[in-house]
Amino acid sequence: MAVPPLLTLQGVALTFGGTPLIENAELSVSPGERACLVGRNGSGKSTLLKIAAGLVQPDQGERFLQPATTIRYLAQEPDLSAYETTLAFVEAGLGPGDDLYRAQYCLEQLGMTGQENPAQLSGGEARRAALAQVLAPMPDILLLDEPTNHLDLPAIEWLEQELKSSRSALILISHDRRFLENLSQSTMWLDRGKTHYMSRGFSAFEEWRDDILAQEERERHKLDRKLVAEADWLRYGVTARRKRNVRRLANLHALRQERRDQRQVVGNVAMTITEAEGSGSMVVEADAISKSYDSRPIVSKLSLRVMRGDRLGIVGANGAGKTTLLKLLTGELEPDEGNIRLGTNLEMVTLDQQRSSLKPDWTVSETLTGGRGDTVMVGGQPKHVIGYMKDFLFSPEQARTPVSVLSGGERNRLMLARALSRPSNLLILDEPTNDLDLETLDLLEEMIDEYKGTVLVVSHDRDFLDRTVSSVLVAEGEGKWIEYAGGYTDMLSQRGHGVEARSIEKVKKPKPANPQNQPKPESNRRKLNFREQHDLKILPEKIAELEELAAKLQLKLDDPDLYARDSKLFSQITDKLGQVQSELASCEDRWLELEMLRQEIEET
């Protein structure tokens, strides 16, 4: 008997004036399901997630949540103003019976102590606290909107493992391809207000999407041909049998209305980079450079040479000094020791993660033209600013829109548009993937691949690094940096492990005035909660079952004639084996985590 879904949306529609943002959308969440929600920027993904969370009321449609189902939604702009510390904020999200230890654990894994003052948090820190608050209770349903924003690589990889081992159902919005591929088991595509569902993960999305769009194009072509034929009849057809002709004319009007009502696919960004004359063969040479802040080494005795055409990725945990290193290599900062030598004929363009070079009171048009005239020089040729805006999916009406009211994705596209119009042979990209949709990311990757100059990029996006860089410079701690050939995955295979998180200094609480040798009260000691005890008991048996099932599936795949005999069955068994192996790895990780925790508790 099929298990009923925990949450369903049926026939949901919402309009914010003009064209409906969402129309007749469907969504279903089953227990333990891990689904990704994808779509272009502005397609309504975040709004649909808010409707699912019960935070936004649709114009029409039904929302049903199974009684007693717990649901947590990751807010884009969390409000922590009512709490004294981040730990108090996270603990406020726990329900009766939830483990208090989870609040501190999640905060520490996300690089926070729990003692931070909410009034002094940056936007990224507030987002990490909000992520800890929704993860700590382990609810039945998790609705996560861009959870990897403002996370470094160690935190992203920890979050992946945490979600894999969780029993919570998951609906995930993210621009991080690797994150989506590693987590999703099904895909929901929101396109022009309607949802499409696929029972496979994100790795199969692009082929599936292209098939749907190709089918739409064929149907649109048939409709256009029928319109032409009917219009030709209207001009030259016989006028006899007037009733029939009137009905046919009404059908023609209906066809025209159907064609007008069809919502067209949103266009793609048209990126063209303006390249300057070539630089010298040597672009940057660092000779034993060092830089420290408050006695903490950021860079220590680093020697590095960047040649023309190199694509260098810089990775490390938050606070490792990636942006500082970038400023040293580009001459913006002077090293404490050593020498930096820049090559000849350098034309540098920078895309910074804070978007600090955008003036909030300027309009989109002024930002692109520098406040002078209405043309932009692209590739040495003048282009009207409205036409150039359209290349980056801005409407003509947005020409006079102030930068301050643009969304994060729109600001990023505006930064790209301005940066790519300037002549350059050295491109500096500091977290360029933030808030970009997947289609725009594809085009940015293609542009970098075709760029003849040199690229220095700081990013936490593993897939983006694999697709764009030729070497990776990794923070090893204590100011030490080591360069590895290839992308992020190549670095992992050479290094043996990923980027490690920086240790955080915990704020020590004053000890109570108890006698020195007085034992800690039993009630205050950390214990395994009921769920952890239950998992620790059942996981060994479940792991054995999964290993046995994986062996049986592998035995079937070992049949050399299976694919030729039944290719569909071969694909089904392959998909099933992948799911079983993924579940097996999650169970093993969870058992190991609990066993280590049990031993730690016994020792203390």
Q: 7-207 — its CATH code? A: 3.40.50.300
Q: Tell me if 293 sits within 8 A of 328, measured CB to CB.
A: no
Q: What's the mean pLDDT in 66-95?
A: 91
Domain boundaries, the chain: 7-207, 219-261, 282-495, 527-603
Range 527-603 has CATH code 3.30.1910: no
Q: Which residue has the higher pLDDT, 294 or 309?
A: 309
Can you read off the two tokens belonging to residue 13? 């529609």
Question: What confidence score (pLDDT) does residue 514 get?
Answer: 47
pTM: 0.68
pLDDT greater than 50 at residue 152: yes
Question: What confidence score (pLDDT) does residue 260 get?
Answer: 54
- 10 Å Cβ neighbour count for 163? 20
- pLDDT band (50, 70, 90) for residue 135: very high
270 is in an annotated binding site: no
- 10 Å Cβ neighbour count for 450? 11
Could you tell me how many helices (H) and strands (E) the chain has, helices first? 18, 20
pLDDT digits (tens, 9 = 90+) for 319-350: 788 889 989 998 889 999 999 999 888 888 88
Range 282-495 has CATH code 2.170.150.20: no
Question: What confidence score (pLDDT) does residue 516 get?
Answer: 46
Q: Of 248-252, 351-355, 441-445, 490-494, give the range with the top mean pLDDT.
A: 490-494
Question: In what order do the strands lie in the sheet containing 22-29?
Answer: 22-29, 7-14, 60-65
Span of 29-33, 75-79, 258-262, 529-533 with lowest mean pLDDT: 258-262
pLDDT digits (tens, 9 = 90+) for 12-41: 999 876 667 888 899 999 999 999 999 887
330 is in an annotated binding site: no
Residue 304 main-chain phi, psi, to 5 deg: -155, 145
322 is in an annotated binding site: yes
122 is in an annotated binding site: no
Query: Residue 165 in 3-state DSSP?
Result: helix
493 is in an annotated binding site: no
Whole-angstrom distance between the N-terminal and C-terminal Cα of the chain? 46
pLDDT greater than 90 at residue 425: no
How far apart, in whole angstroms, are the C-alpha atoms of residue 234 and residue 151? 62
CA 87 to chain centre: 26
Span of 43-57, 136-150, 522-536 with lowest mean pLDDT: 522-536
pLDDT digits (tens, 9 = 90+) for 385-402: 888 888 777 778 888 888
Question: What confidence score (pLDDT) does residue 579 get?
Answer: 79
Nearest-CA neighbor of 299 among 318, 321, 267?
Answer: 321
The partner residues of 65 in beta bridges, in order of sequence, read 7
pLDDT greater than 50 at residue 507: no
How far apart, in whole angstroms, are the C-alpha atoms of residue 590 and residue 542? 12
42 is in an annotated binding site: yes
318 is in an annotated binding site: yes
Can you read off the two tokens belonging to residue 118? 């909410």
511 is in an annotated binding site: no
379 is in an annotated binding site: no
β-pair type (454-458, 169-173): unpaired
Question: What confidence score (pLDDT) does residue 240 get?
Answer: 43
313 is in an annotated binding site: no
Is it true that 7-207 and 527-603 share their CATH fold? no
Question: What confidence score (pLDDT) does residue 243 get?
Answer: 44
How far apart, in whole angstroms, are the C-alpha atoms of residue 31 and residue 5? 7
45 is in an annotated binding site: yes
41 is in an annotated binding site: yes
